[in-house]
Amino acid sequence: MPVGGLVELDLQAVSGVRLGTSMAGIRQTERDDLTVFEISAASQVAATFTKNRFCAAPVTLAKKHLLETAPRYLLINSGNANAGLGDLGLLAAEQCCSALADLTQSSATTVLPFSTGVIGEPLPVDKLIAGLGAAIDNLAEDHWENAAQAIMTTDTCPKGCSKTFQLDGETVTITGIAKGSGMIRPDMATMLSYIATDMPVSQPVLQQMLAQAVALSFNSITVDGDTSTNDAVVLIATAVLDCQEIQSTADSRYVTMFEKICEVCAYLAEAIVRDGEGATKLITIQVEQAASVADAKEVAYTVAHSPLVKTAFFAADPNWGRILSAVGRANIGSMNVDDIAIYLDQVCIVEAGKRCVAYTEEQGQRVMLQDEISVRICLAQGDHTASVLSCDLSYDYVKINAEYRS
Protein backbone atom coordinates (compact mmCIF):
# COMPACT_ATOMS: atom_id res chain seq x y z
CA MET A 1 0.00 0.00 0.00
CA PRO A 2 1.26 3.51 -0.77
CA VAL A 3 2.28 5.67 2.19
CA GLY A 4 -0.80 7.55 3.36
CA GLY A 5 -2.89 6.16 0.51
CA LEU A 6 -3.67 8.01 -2.71
CA VAL A 7 -6.73 9.89 -3.90
CA GLU A 8 -9.05 7.63 -5.87
CA LEU A 9 -8.50 8.04 -9.60
CA ASP A 10 -11.02 10.22 -11.39
CA LEU A 11 -9.34 10.75 -14.74
CA GLN A 12 -10.96 13.06 -17.28
CA ALA A 13 -10.90 12.34 -21.00
CA VAL A 14 -8.79 14.67 -23.13
CA SER A 15 -10.27 15.30 -26.56
CA GLY A 16 -7.81 14.26 -29.24
CA VAL A 17 -6.34 11.33 -27.32
CA ARG A 18 -7.65 7.76 -27.37
CA LEU A 19 -6.15 4.93 -25.34
CA GLY A 20 -6.40 1.18 -25.76
CA THR A 21 -4.94 -1.68 -23.74
CA SER A 22 -4.62 -5.45 -24.06
CA MET A 23 -2.98 -8.42 -22.37
CA ALA A 24 -0.05 -9.52 -24.53
CA GLY A 25 1.38 -11.83 -21.85
CA ILE A 26 4.84 -10.30 -22.11
CA ARG A 27 5.80 -11.29 -18.55
CA GLN A 28 2.52 -12.05 -16.76
CA THR A 29 -1.00 -13.07 -17.75
CA GLU A 30 -3.03 -11.52 -14.96
CA ARG A 31 -3.71 -8.04 -16.40
CA ASP A 32 -3.18 -5.85 -19.44
CA ASP A 33 0.44 -5.05 -20.22
CA LEU A 34 0.23 -3.33 -23.60
CA THR A 35 -0.99 0.23 -24.20
CA VAL A 36 -1.57 2.26 -27.36
CA PHE A 37 -2.16 6.03 -27.41
CA GLU A 38 -3.71 7.47 -30.57
CA ILE A 39 -3.04 11.22 -30.89
CA SER A 40 -4.92 13.66 -33.13
CA ALA A 41 -3.05 14.95 -36.16
CA ALA A 42 -2.93 18.55 -34.92
CA SER A 43 -1.18 17.58 -31.68
CA GLN A 44 2.18 18.85 -30.50
CA VAL A 45 4.37 16.50 -28.45
CA ALA A 46 7.20 17.19 -26.00
CA ALA A 47 9.28 14.58 -24.18
CA THR A 48 12.15 14.14 -21.74
CA PHE A 49 14.18 10.95 -21.42
CA THR A 50 16.62 9.14 -19.17
CA LYS A 51 20.23 10.33 -19.09
CA ASN A 52 21.47 6.79 -18.42
CA ARG A 53 24.16 6.06 -21.02
CA PHE A 54 22.79 2.51 -21.40
CA CYS A 55 19.48 3.97 -22.56
CA ALA A 56 17.04 1.38 -23.82
CA ALA A 57 16.33 0.74 -27.50
CA PRO A 58 12.83 2.30 -27.35
CA VAL A 59 14.34 5.49 -25.90
CA THR A 60 16.83 5.69 -28.75
CA LEU A 61 14.13 5.07 -31.35
CA ALA A 62 11.59 7.45 -29.77
CA LYS A 63 14.17 10.26 -29.83
CA LYS A 64 14.91 9.52 -33.47
CA HIS A 65 11.24 9.46 -34.48
CA LEU A 66 10.54 12.72 -32.65
CA LEU A 67 13.14 14.43 -34.84
CA GLU A 68 11.69 13.01 -38.04
CA THR A 69 7.93 13.58 -37.87
CA ALA A 70 4.94 14.48 -35.71
CA PRO A 71 3.94 11.51 -33.49
CA ARG A 72 0.50 9.95 -33.94
CA TYR A 73 0.88 6.91 -31.67
CA LEU A 74 2.56 5.91 -28.42
CA LEU A 75 3.24 2.20 -27.92
CA ILE A 76 4.01 1.08 -24.36
CA ASN A 77 4.72 -2.36 -22.94
CA SER A 78 5.40 -3.41 -19.37
CA GLY A 79 7.25 -6.51 -18.22
CA ASN A 80 10.31 -6.12 -20.46
CA ALA A 81 12.62 -3.09 -20.74
CA ASN A 82 14.13 -4.01 -24.12
CA ALA A 83 17.41 -2.63 -22.79
CA GLY A 84 21.01 -3.84 -22.82
CA LEU A 85 20.47 -5.79 -26.04
CA GLY A 86 22.30 -3.68 -28.64
CA ASP A 87 21.13 -3.97 -32.24
CA LEU A 88 18.76 -6.82 -31.34
CA GLY A 89 16.80 -4.49 -29.06
CA LEU A 90 16.68 -1.73 -31.65
CA LEU A 91 15.42 -4.15 -34.29
CA ALA A 92 12.70 -5.36 -31.90
CA ALA A 93 11.54 -1.81 -31.22
CA GLU A 94 11.48 -1.04 -34.95
CA GLN A 95 9.47 -4.19 -35.69
CA CYS A 96 6.86 -3.24 -33.08
CA CYS A 97 6.55 0.30 -34.46
CA SER A 98 6.18 -1.04 -37.99
CA ALA A 99 3.51 -3.51 -36.92
CA LEU A 100 1.43 -0.79 -35.26
CA ALA A 101 1.92 1.46 -38.29
CA ASP A 102 0.68 -1.30 -40.61
CA LEU A 103 -2.45 -1.84 -38.51
CA THR A 104 -3.24 1.87 -38.38
CA GLN A 105 -2.19 2.69 -41.95
CA SER A 106 0.43 5.17 -40.78
CA SER A 107 4.20 5.50 -40.91
CA ALA A 108 6.47 3.72 -38.43
CA THR A 109 8.17 7.03 -37.67
CA THR A 110 4.89 8.38 -36.25
CA VAL A 111 5.06 5.73 -33.48
CA LEU A 112 6.99 6.43 -30.27
CA PRO A 113 7.88 3.18 -28.43
CA PHE A 114 8.30 2.84 -24.65
CA SER A 115 9.14 -0.21 -22.54
CA THR A 116 9.51 -0.95 -18.82
CA GLY A 117 10.47 -4.10 -16.96
CA VAL A 118 13.38 -6.50 -16.79
CA ILE A 119 16.64 -5.35 -18.42
CA GLY A 120 18.69 -7.63 -20.66
CA GLU A 121 16.00 -10.08 -21.78
CA PRO A 122 14.90 -10.10 -25.45
CA LEU A 123 11.56 -8.42 -26.04
CA PRO A 124 8.96 -11.06 -27.06
CA VAL A 125 8.08 -9.25 -30.28
CA ASP A 126 5.62 -11.90 -31.47
CA LYS A 127 3.56 -11.60 -28.28
CA LEU A 128 3.58 -7.82 -28.42
CA ILE A 129 2.52 -7.68 -32.06
CA ALA A 130 -0.19 -10.28 -31.44
CA GLY A 131 -1.66 -8.01 -28.75
CA LEU A 132 -1.80 -4.88 -30.90
CA GLY A 133 -5.10 -5.65 -32.59
CA ALA A 134 -7.00 -5.95 -29.32
CA ALA A 135 -5.45 -2.73 -28.01
CA ILE A 136 -6.47 -0.85 -31.16
CA ASP A 137 -10.00 -2.25 -30.99
CA ASN A 138 -10.11 -1.02 -27.38
CA LEU A 139 -9.22 2.60 -28.19
CA ALA A 140 -11.39 5.16 -26.34
CA GLU A 141 -10.96 8.62 -24.85
CA ASP A 142 -12.00 7.48 -21.37
CA HIS A 143 -9.51 4.61 -20.97
CA TRP A 144 -6.92 6.56 -18.99
CA GLU A 145 -7.28 4.41 -15.88
CA ASN A 146 -6.97 1.23 -17.96
CA ALA A 147 -3.69 2.58 -19.30
CA ALA A 148 -2.50 3.57 -15.81
CA GLN A 149 -2.92 -0.06 -14.76
CA ALA A 150 -1.41 -1.56 -17.90
CA ILE A 151 1.90 0.33 -17.60
CA MET A 152 2.56 -0.86 -14.01
CA THR A 153 5.37 -3.24 -13.02
CA THR A 154 6.06 -3.48 -9.26
CA ASP A 155 3.61 -0.64 -8.57
CA THR A 156 0.95 -1.51 -6.00
CA CYS A 157 -1.61 0.86 -7.52
CA PRO A 158 -2.27 2.90 -10.67
CA LYS A 159 -1.28 6.56 -10.54
CA GLY A 160 -3.18 9.34 -12.28
CA CYS A 161 -4.32 12.92 -11.93
CA SER A 162 -6.65 15.33 -13.79
CA LYS A 163 -7.07 19.11 -13.65
CA THR A 164 -9.86 21.14 -15.26
CA PHE A 165 -9.85 24.94 -15.21
CA GLN A 166 -11.03 27.99 -17.15
CA LEU A 167 -8.61 29.71 -19.51
CA ASP A 168 -9.33 32.01 -22.44
CA GLY A 169 -13.06 31.35 -22.03
CA GLU A 170 -12.57 27.60 -22.45
CA THR A 171 -12.59 24.68 -20.03
CA VAL A 172 -9.09 23.22 -20.24
CA THR A 173 -8.37 19.63 -19.23
CA ILE A 174 -5.01 18.13 -18.26
CA THR A 175 -4.78 14.42 -17.47
CA GLY A 176 -1.67 12.43 -16.65
CA ILE A 177 -0.67 8.94 -15.60
CA ALA A 178 2.61 7.52 -14.35
CA LYS A 179 4.23 4.28 -13.28
CA GLY A 180 7.17 3.82 -10.99
CA SER A 181 7.98 2.22 -7.65
CA GLY A 182 11.63 1.14 -7.67
CA MET A 183 14.79 2.07 -9.58
CA ILE A 184 13.73 5.64 -8.93
CA ARG A 185 16.19 8.53 -8.99
CA PRO A 186 15.45 10.52 -12.07
CA ASP A 187 17.47 11.89 -14.47
CA MET A 188 14.76 10.93 -15.56
CA ALA A 189 13.50 6.98 -12.70
CA THR A 190 12.02 2.92 -13.69
CA MET A 191 9.37 5.52 -14.39
CA LEU A 192 7.16 6.46 -17.29
CA SER A 193 4.60 9.27 -17.41
CA TYR A 194 2.16 10.44 -20.06
CA ILE A 195 0.29 13.75 -19.79
CA ALA A 196 -2.12 15.35 -22.23
CA THR A 197 -4.06 18.59 -22.54
CA ASP A 198 -6.59 19.83 -25.07
CA MET A 199 -5.08 23.35 -25.02
CA PRO A 200 -3.19 24.40 -28.18
CA VAL A 201 0.48 25.01 -27.30
CA SER A 202 3.38 25.34 -29.74
CA GLN A 203 6.00 22.59 -29.58
CA PRO A 204 8.90 24.78 -28.35
CA VAL A 205 6.78 26.24 -25.55
CA LEU A 206 5.41 22.79 -24.68
CA GLN A 207 8.96 21.43 -24.45
CA GLN A 208 9.99 24.31 -22.19
CA MET A 209 6.97 23.77 -19.94
CA LEU A 210 7.76 20.08 -19.63
CA ALA A 211 11.48 20.52 -18.94
CA GLN A 212 10.83 23.04 -16.18
CA ALA A 213 7.97 21.03 -14.66
CA VAL A 214 10.06 17.84 -14.67
CA ALA A 215 12.94 19.63 -12.92
CA LEU A 216 10.58 20.57 -10.09
CA SER A 217 8.85 17.19 -9.83
CA PHE A 218 10.11 13.95 -11.39
CA ASN A 219 13.72 15.13 -11.16
CA SER A 220 13.33 15.96 -7.46
CA ILE A 221 12.40 12.51 -6.18
CA THR A 222 14.27 9.35 -5.21
CA VAL A 223 13.34 5.94 -3.87
CA ASP A 224 16.65 4.09 -4.08
CA GLY A 225 19.08 6.25 -6.03
CA ASP A 226 19.00 4.13 -9.19
CA THR A 227 18.38 5.77 -12.56
CA SER A 228 16.68 3.51 -15.09
CA THR A 229 17.58 2.87 -18.71
CA ASN A 230 14.01 3.54 -19.83
CA ASP A 231 12.63 6.65 -18.12
CA ALA A 232 10.48 9.04 -20.13
CA VAL A 233 7.86 11.73 -19.65
CA VAL A 234 5.66 12.76 -22.58
CA LEU A 235 3.45 15.86 -22.74
CA ILE A 236 0.83 16.11 -25.49
CA ALA A 237 -1.15 19.19 -26.51
CA THR A 238 -3.97 18.11 -28.81
CA ALA A 239 -5.07 21.66 -29.82
CA VAL A 240 -8.71 20.57 -29.86
CA LEU A 241 -9.95 23.66 -28.01
CA ASP A 242 -11.05 26.51 -30.27
CA CYS A 243 -8.67 29.18 -29.01
CA GLN A 244 -5.38 30.75 -29.99
CA GLU A 245 -2.24 28.66 -29.56
CA ILE A 246 0.15 29.59 -26.76
CA GLN A 247 3.29 30.43 -28.72
CA SER A 248 5.37 32.34 -26.18
CA THR A 249 6.12 32.55 -22.48
CA ALA A 250 4.98 36.17 -22.77
CA ASP A 251 1.42 34.98 -23.48
CA SER A 252 -0.75 35.96 -20.50
CA ARG A 253 -2.10 32.39 -20.37
CA TYR A 254 1.34 30.77 -20.12
CA VAL A 255 1.76 31.11 -16.36
CA THR A 256 -1.61 29.50 -15.57
CA MET A 257 -0.99 26.68 -18.02
CA PHE A 258 2.49 26.05 -16.66
CA GLU A 259 1.27 26.06 -13.05
CA LYS A 260 -1.36 23.42 -13.84
CA ILE A 261 1.16 21.23 -15.69
CA CYS A 262 3.43 21.52 -12.64
CA GLU A 263 0.58 20.49 -10.33
CA VAL A 264 -0.09 17.34 -12.35
CA CYS A 265 3.63 16.46 -12.50
CA ALA A 266 4.06 17.10 -8.77
CA TYR A 267 1.12 14.85 -7.89
CA LEU A 268 2.39 12.02 -10.09
CA ALA A 269 5.96 12.34 -8.80
CA GLU A 270 4.79 12.22 -5.18
CA ALA A 271 2.56 9.25 -5.97
CA ILE A 272 5.63 7.37 -7.23
CA VAL A 273 7.53 8.00 -3.99
CA ARG A 274 4.51 7.13 -1.83
CA ASP A 275 4.40 3.82 -3.71
CA GLY A 276 8.15 3.24 -3.40
CA GLU A 277 8.99 -0.44 -3.17
CA GLY A 278 8.42 -1.44 0.46
CA ALA A 279 8.07 2.19 1.58
CA THR A 280 6.42 2.93 4.92
CA LYS A 281 7.31 6.63 5.23
CA LEU A 282 7.31 9.68 2.96
CA ILE A 283 10.33 11.89 3.63
CA THR A 284 10.68 15.50 2.45
CA ILE A 285 14.26 16.77 2.59
CA GLN A 286 14.53 20.54 2.21
CA VAL A 287 17.87 22.30 2.05
CA GLU A 288 17.85 26.05 2.63
CA GLN A 289 20.41 28.88 2.62
CA ALA A 290 22.62 27.11 0.06
CA ALA A 291 25.14 28.86 -2.18
CA SER A 292 23.34 27.45 -5.26
CA VAL A 293 20.39 25.27 -6.19
CA ALA A 294 22.90 22.61 -7.30
CA ASP A 295 24.50 22.60 -3.84
CA ALA A 296 21.09 22.39 -2.18
CA LYS A 297 20.10 19.39 -4.33
CA GLU A 298 23.44 17.68 -3.75
CA VAL A 299 23.02 17.88 0.02
CA ALA A 300 19.38 16.78 -0.16
CA TYR A 301 20.16 13.78 -2.36
CA THR A 302 23.15 12.77 -0.23
CA VAL A 303 20.86 12.53 2.80
CA ALA A 304 18.05 10.90 0.83
CA HIS A 305 20.36 8.19 -0.59
CA SER A 306 22.07 7.24 2.65
CA PRO A 307 21.10 3.63 3.51
CA LEU A 308 21.80 4.39 7.17
CA VAL A 309 19.46 7.38 7.15
CA LYS A 310 16.77 5.48 5.23
CA THR A 311 16.86 2.47 7.56
CA ALA A 312 16.74 4.71 10.62
CA PHE A 313 13.53 6.23 9.26
CA PHE A 314 12.11 2.74 8.70
CA ALA A 315 12.91 1.77 12.30
CA ALA A 316 11.60 5.11 13.62
CA ASP A 317 14.98 5.47 15.29
CA PRO A 318 15.89 9.14 16.00
CA ASN A 319 19.57 8.43 15.27
CA TRP A 320 20.11 11.96 13.99
CA GLY A 321 23.87 11.49 13.78
CA ARG A 322 23.30 9.64 10.51
CA ILE A 323 21.70 12.74 9.00
CA LEU A 324 24.53 14.92 10.29
CA SER A 325 27.11 12.56 8.79
CA ALA A 326 25.38 12.49 5.39
CA VAL A 327 25.22 16.30 5.25
CA GLY A 328 28.92 16.50 6.03
CA ARG A 329 29.96 14.23 3.17
CA ALA A 330 27.90 16.00 0.49
CA ASN A 331 30.07 16.89 -2.50
CA ILE A 332 29.76 20.68 -2.52
CA GLY A 333 32.47 23.31 -2.80
CA SER A 334 32.52 24.54 0.78
CA MET A 335 30.69 24.02 4.04
CA ASN A 336 31.07 25.65 7.44
CA VAL A 337 29.70 23.00 9.76
CA ASP A 338 29.65 25.44 12.70
CA ASP A 339 26.85 27.37 10.96
CA ILE A 340 24.60 24.44 10.07
CA ALA A 341 21.20 23.75 11.64
CA ILE A 342 19.08 20.63 11.07
CA TYR A 343 15.44 20.05 11.97
CA LEU A 344 13.13 17.03 12.10
CA ASP A 345 9.81 18.71 11.33
CA GLN A 346 9.86 21.61 13.84
CA VAL A 347 12.28 19.90 16.23
CA CYS A 348 15.80 21.34 16.10
CA ILE A 349 18.31 18.47 16.35
CA VAL A 350 21.47 20.33 15.30
CA GLU A 351 22.24 23.97 16.04
CA ALA A 352 25.50 25.76 15.20
CA GLY A 353 26.94 22.47 13.98
CA LYS A 354 26.30 20.44 17.14
CA ARG A 355 23.48 18.81 19.06
CA CYS A 356 20.84 21.37 20.00
CA VAL A 357 20.88 21.86 23.76
CA ALA A 358 17.07 21.80 23.90
CA TYR A 359 16.75 18.55 21.93
CA THR A 360 15.48 15.40 23.63
CA GLU A 361 15.27 11.84 22.35
CA GLU A 362 11.53 11.88 23.06
CA GLN A 363 11.04 14.82 20.66
CA GLY A 364 12.88 13.02 17.89
CA GLN A 365 11.02 9.78 18.53
CA ARG A 366 7.62 11.47 18.17
CA VAL A 367 8.60 12.77 14.72
CA MET A 368 10.17 9.52 13.54
CA LEU A 369 7.00 7.57 14.36
CA GLN A 370 5.02 9.65 11.81
CA ASP A 371 4.22 8.34 8.33
CA GLU A 372 5.25 11.66 6.79
CA ILE A 373 8.39 13.44 7.98
CA SER A 374 10.30 16.52 6.91
CA VAL A 375 14.03 17.11 7.30
CA ARG A 376 15.13 20.76 7.01
CA ILE A 377 18.81 21.57 6.62
CA CYS A 378 20.01 25.19 6.85
CA LEU A 379 23.51 25.68 5.41
CA ALA A 380 23.90 29.44 6.11
CA GLN A 381 25.74 29.94 2.80
CA GLY A 382 23.27 31.79 0.58
CA ASP A 383 19.61 32.11 -0.34
CA HIS A 384 19.02 29.08 -2.59
CA THR A 385 16.66 26.23 -1.73
CA ALA A 386 15.83 22.78 -3.09
CA SER A 387 13.58 19.94 -1.96
CA VAL A 388 13.73 16.22 -2.63
CA LEU A 389 10.99 13.69 -1.91
CA SER A 390 12.16 10.30 -0.71
CA CYS A 391 11.13 7.32 1.41
CA ASP A 392 12.55 4.85 3.89
CA LEU A 393 14.30 1.55 3.15
CA SER A 394 12.49 -1.49 4.51
CA TYR A 395 12.79 -5.27 4.60
CA ASP A 396 10.22 -5.43 1.81
CA TYR A 397 12.39 -3.37 -0.55
CA VAL A 398 15.09 -6.03 -0.33
CA LYS A 399 12.55 -8.84 -0.72
CA ILE A 400 10.85 -7.26 -3.75
CA ASN A 401 14.12 -6.74 -5.58
CA ALA A 402 15.68 -10.06 -4.53
CA GLU A 403 12.66 -11.82 -6.04
CA TYR A 404 12.16 -9.45 -9.00
CA ARG A 405 12.88 -12.10 -11.66
CA SER A 406 11.41 -15.04 -9.74
Show which residues are catalytic: 190
| SS3 label, residue 296 | helix
Residues 6+ apart with CB under 8 A from 38: 17, 18, 19, 20, 72, 73, 104, 139
Beta strand 372-378 with 282-290 is: parallel
**How many angstroms separate the CA atoms of 151 and 116, rounded?**
8
Sign of the C-alpha dihedral computed for residues 383, 281, 118 and 144 taken in this order: negative
**How many angstroms separate the CA atoms of 15 and 199, rounded?**
10
Secondary structure (DSSP) of 186-211: -SS-S-EEEEEESS-B-HHHHHHHHH
- Do residues 137 and 20 lie in contact, with contact meaning Cβ atoms separated by under 8 Å? yes
Neighbours of 380 (CB within 10 A): 15
- Do residues 340 and 379 lie in contact, with contact meaning Cβ atoms separated by under 8 Å? yes
Question: What are phi and psi for residue 266, nearest 5 degrees?
Answer: -65, -40
